[in-house]
Amino acid sequence: MLPPPDRAALLLDMDGTLLDIAPTPDSVVVAPSLLASLTALRTRLGGALAVISGRPVEQVDALLTAIPTAVSGEHGGALRPAPNAAIERPDLPTAPAAWLGVAERLVAGHRGALLERKARGFVVHYRLAPHAGLTIRAALAPLLVGRTDFVLMAAHMAWEIRPNGADKASAVRAVMARPPFAGRLPIFIGDDLTDRDAIAAAEKLGGVGLFVPDVFGDAAGVRGWLAGAATGDGWALRRAPERHR
């Protein structure tokens, strides 16, 4: 059962949840109907609509035309807590420049591989070089040996090196501490391994965490639910969420 809209906050992952995964991060498509659903839902939820993504906040805001009241980016590494507010960043380390050099050489050596720089870390995408995935991982993993301040994380056809200390669970807690989210019950929706942290965090706060493959099938299924929920007819879920704790 979902908490009713007047008591709920909706916290959404973006890629693979709102948007179909595309060959490269830049080639995702945002349908006008999705933006219309999100705008209507923001009103229905008294503003309590947030996106929690691994992407930089600026990219989320550009793609979703700044509709979400709050955006957490970089797996909890950055937060725009309110419309037009400055981006806040928890104190976290930045990946050494030498690691970026390793990543640049890897990308140069594997046709189709793509380097995405983030404020404190980076992502090596291999969606267009699928055969190179394990080789790239094997080249990145030694960088982290003996270090607890960074983690190497699997994403959709990508490896990400990011600082330890922030994740999507801390992002859920940070968003839920602010108005208009505070006092409401979170409904978090995500599709990826890293979203399991956020699902657990939402449940711990008395809310609900929904794993896209289990509950909606895919991002099109999520968009269909959002469209119904935005009009007021379709708030209930067709399939019951599984508990992940």
* Interacting residues toward Mg ion by CB under 5 A: 13, 15-16, 191-192
Residue 75, phi-psi category: left (phi > 0), alpha (psi -120 to 50), beta (remainder): left
Q: Record the tokens describing residue 76, joined without a space.
A: 């909890």
What are the phi and psi torsion angles at 223 (to 5°)?
Answer: -60, -35
Residue pair 83/57 in contact (Cβ under 8 Å)? The answer is: no
Residue 21 Cβ, how far from Mg ion at the closest point, in Å? 8
Q: How far apart are CA 82 and CA 61, in angstroms?
A: 12
Q: Which is nearer to Mg ion, 74 or 192 (CB)?
A: 192
Q: Which is nearer to Mg ion, 151 or 157 (CB)?
A: 157
Smallest gap from Cβ 54 to Mg ion, in A, equals 7
Q: Are 172 and 198 in contact (CB under 8 A)?
A: yes
At closest approach, how far in Å is the CB of 3 from Mg ion? 23
Among this protein's residues, is 13 annotated catalytic? yes
Tokens of residue 245, six digits? 């704790």
Q: How far is the CB of 15 from Mg ion (least distance, A)?
A: 4
Among candidate residues 13, 167, 191, 192, the one labeled active-site is 13
- Tokens standing for 128? 């267009």
Nearer residue to Mg ion within complex by CB, 104 or 218: 218
- By beta-carbon distance, which residue lies closest to Mg ion? 16
Residue 79 φ then ψ, to 5°? -140, 125
Which among 112, 44, 118, 113 has a CA at the least distance from the CA of 78? Answer: 118
The residue (of 8 and 12) whose beta carbon lies closer to Mg ion is 12
Q: What residues are annotated to the active site? A: 13
